[in-house]
Chain A
């Protein structure tokens, strides 16, 4: 058994990479997977806060790379899920503290004992991103339905393809169905057409995510928020299940009428 290394990246900052990493880690671990979430954002670590594990960190990724501790000692076990771990980033160093080879070595060392290694990439296209990409078997791109975020995602996809790490799959985060309905936000279809890659999940805008980030309890722990359910769907798709995409856009009157007429027709035919 060897873990799948999944790198979560975006190009643009603030689109929700860390939120996605934390919640996918929770969702996968709740499904019995042994998961390590790895914070590759050296110097600007956040994943520990999202997971509510900040006060349990003793050693970090850079300590493990530089041999101040064994890799196992740097892993922080989640306080709620037995099979969820965090490999925290160092806060007092910067991206140059780790090289791409170090990330590959660390991940190879963890592969044997886990099912998933989720690498949370820093924003940007510089060394930190390269480090996060180096060990990846698969890549998930997080974007928002905004032109600037989609443009950066396109840039990142090009770089991933050039490294031979593709095909990457897309997560559209913070979709506001009512804005899409009013025509004020890029539609899912438009984003997919612009980027020409496969979709693995759509996460609706959800206030619960903000509350969760502040309390260190990711929304994926419960089933009562739309975003939480969306993360579980992505986890199931990662595990190979066929999960249909729920339409976030409520059908218009005409669409409902059309559907009703079609179903009537089918019944008669």
Chain B
């Protein structure tokens, strides 16, 4: 079954698709055939993609995601030892799994032990500076340990927490959750959205950056200093 270089196995966290060595186009053709054959079995599932050390860009990962979507399989994570691949995955809002032996594969080998059910979307931790032109999307919470520069976009289904400066565009509760909040050590976004509400930072320059939390209150976005006094 693994002669064609692609392994698909079931884990507790859904499917784990492991790509082989060959050229990219051939791998995609093989994956298409495999999905075609087992279409009924795969439908409605979710999958993690293990690409080993192969460097993939956003276009390629998007290609896999779209291909899987055709068979109603939801790509949720990308596992790789290549930084470029992980970064591309993060930019597409997929959960990154760094290293060869992490979560997705290990879940199965742990055998019969009972595991807590995984919520449909957990948190995504981004430990780097998010620069202009970079966009991070995630259906759950997004936590950035670093700065979010002007020109960057953070879009979360739930809360956004930035341990650093937040100067880009941020959208919390992007799927309509009005209870979502945005917290930052220096909350000065170009634009701040929560659910359907939009706010801009005040035009005048700020005195001293202070931690703040923005939330929807009486139908409007308001930012309050943190800790709340």
Give the interface residue-count category, chain A.
Answer: 10 to 19
Q: Say whether B151 contacts A196, CB under 8 Å.
A: no
Smallest beta-carbon distance A185→chain B, Å = 16
Verify if B74 is at the interface (C-beta below 8 Å from A): no
Q: Say whether A196 contacts B129, CB under 8 Å.
A: yes
B contacts with A: majority SS: loop
Across the interface, B87 reaches (CB within 8 A) one of A151, A157, A162, A194, namely A162
Once A151-B132, A154-B132, A155-B133 are accepted as A-B contacts, the answer to whether A164 and B147 lie under 8 Å apart by CB is no
Q: Say whether B132 contacts A158, CB under 8 Å.
A: yes
Verify if A66 is at the interface (C-beta below 8 Å from B): no
Smallest beta-carbon distance B91→chain A, Å = 8
Q: Say whether A154 contacts B131, CB under 8 Å.
A: yes
Once A151-B150, A151-B151, A196-B147 are accepted as A-B contacts, the answer to whether A158 and B84 lie under 8 Å apart by CB is no
Inter-chain CA distance A29–B198, complex, in Å, is: 55
Residues of chain A lying within 8 A (CB to CB) of residue B131: 154-155, 157-158, 161
Residues of chain A lying within 8 A (CB to CB) of residue B133: 125, 154-155, 158-159
Verify if B83 is at the interface (C-beta below 8 Å from A): yes
A contacts with B: majority SS: helix
Residues of chain A lying within 8 A (CB to CB) of residue B83: 164
Q: Which of B88, B128, B134 gathers most chain A CB within 10 Å?
A: B134
Once A194-B149, A196-B147 are accepted as A-B contacts, the answer to whether A155 and B84 lie under 8 Å apart by CB is no
Verify if A223 is at the interface (C-beta below 8 Å from B): no
Inter-chain CA distance A163–B134, complex, in Å, is: 13
Contact with A along B78-92 (1 / 0, CB 8 A): 000001100110010
Q: Say whether B151 contacts A155, CB under 8 Å.
A: yes
Inter-chain CA distance A194–B147, complex, in Å, is: 10
Inter-chain CA distance A217–B134, complex, in Å, is: 40
Q: Which residues of chain A from 112 to 163 have any CB-CB distance to chain B below 8 Å in the complex?
A: 125, 151-152, 154-155, 157-159, 161-163
Residues of chain A lying within 8 A (CB to CB) of residue B151: 151, 154-155
Inter-chain CA distance A101–B164, complex, in Å, is: 38
Residues of chain A lying within 8 A (CB to CB) of residue B149: 154, 194
Q: Say whether A164 contacts B132, CB under 8 Å.
A: no
Smallest beta-carbon distance B162→chain A, Å = 14
Which residue of chain B lies nearest to A157 when distances are taken between CB atoms in the complex? B131
Inter-chain CA distance A172–B178, complex, in Å, is: 43
Once A163-B84, A164-B83, A196-B129 are accepted as A-B contacts, the answer to whether A158 and B134 lie under 8 Å apart by CB is yes
Which residue of chain A lies nearest to B91 when distances are taken between CB atoms in the complex? A162
Smallest beta-carbon distance B96→chain A, Å = 13
Q: Which of B88, B91, B132, B149 gathers most chain A CB within 10 Å?
A: B132
Mind listing 11 A-B residue pairs with CB under 8 Å? A151-B150, A151-B151, A154-B132, A157-B131, A158-B130, A158-B131, A161-B128, A161-B131, A162-B91, A164-B84, A196-B129
Which residue numbers of B lie inside 8 Å of A, CB to CB?
Answer: 83-84, 87-88, 91, 128-134, 147, 149-151
Top-5 shortest CB links A-B: A158-B131, A155-B133, A154-B132, A155-B132, A162-B87
Given A125-B133, A158-B132, A194-B149, 18 other A-B contacts at CB below 8 A?
A: A151-B132, A151-B151, A154-B131, A154-B133, A155-B131, A155-B133, A155-B151, A157-B131, A158-B133, A158-B134, A159-B133, A161-B87, A161-B128, A161-B131, A162-B84, A162-B91, A163-B84, A164-B83
